[in-house]
Amino acid sequence: MQMTSIPNIARKNAEVSGYSLEELEHFRKIFSAEIREHEAKARRFAVPILILFVAGFGAVLYSLLCVQPPLIWLLIAGLALVATGLVLGTIMAIAFRQELTCPACHNYFIEEIQDCCPECGSSSIGFHDWRGWRHCDSCGKDLRTGSNRNFKYKACTTCGVFLYQKGL
């Protein structure tokens, strides 16, 4: 990344976080390398899990649609492969989620929203309503967590350093 590629939010963030633009750029380079490594590892593990899932699904379909009466052993093996693929995929997603850390404060990058907005890194964040949603006064975003998350993690929610333009 060039210094000219720093978004305006990150320039404001430099004033708030206490880091210089050079330090922020260094943090982004470190995090960029970590993201590439993380994505490569996820692909390495995702392919075998996908093969398990597809093979199990194929065995179940073949047993039910192509053979009359259905082959019980093939049906059971297929369901076991599908279940194994789902369990391993869930474990992988949980394990990899907690792997990325902020190079500035060394806390997990993707976690519950702490003191700063995950979209812009601003510390002007508060509770919006009775449901516990957070609201950022700086970017105006209502931040819903959980299964209906409506934001991307671009900045560390602990220290506010803007790390990833694309977002996770």
Note the pLDDT tens digit of each residue in 49-68.
888 888 998 888 888 888 77
Edge-first strand order for the sheet with 134-136 is: 125-127, 134-136, 142-143
Q: Which residue has the tokens 């190079």?
A: 103
116's tokens? 């700063």
Q: Which tens digit of pLDDT belongs to each residue from 9-36?
A: 555 555 556 778 888 888 889 988 888 8
How many angstroms separate the CA atoms of 132 and 97, rounded?
22
93's tokens? 């997603």
Q: Identify whether 22 is part of a domain.
A: yes
Q: Identify whether 3 is part of a domain.
A: no
- Identity of the residue numbered 93: A
Dihedral pair phi/psi, residue 136, rounded to 5°: -100, 120
| pTM (two decimals) | 0.65
Q: Which tens digit of pLDDT belongs to each residue from 130-144?
A: 666 788 888 888 887
Range of the structural domain that residue 23 is part of: 8-148
The total number of structural domains that make up the chain = 1
Q: Identify whether 143 is part of a domain.
A: yes
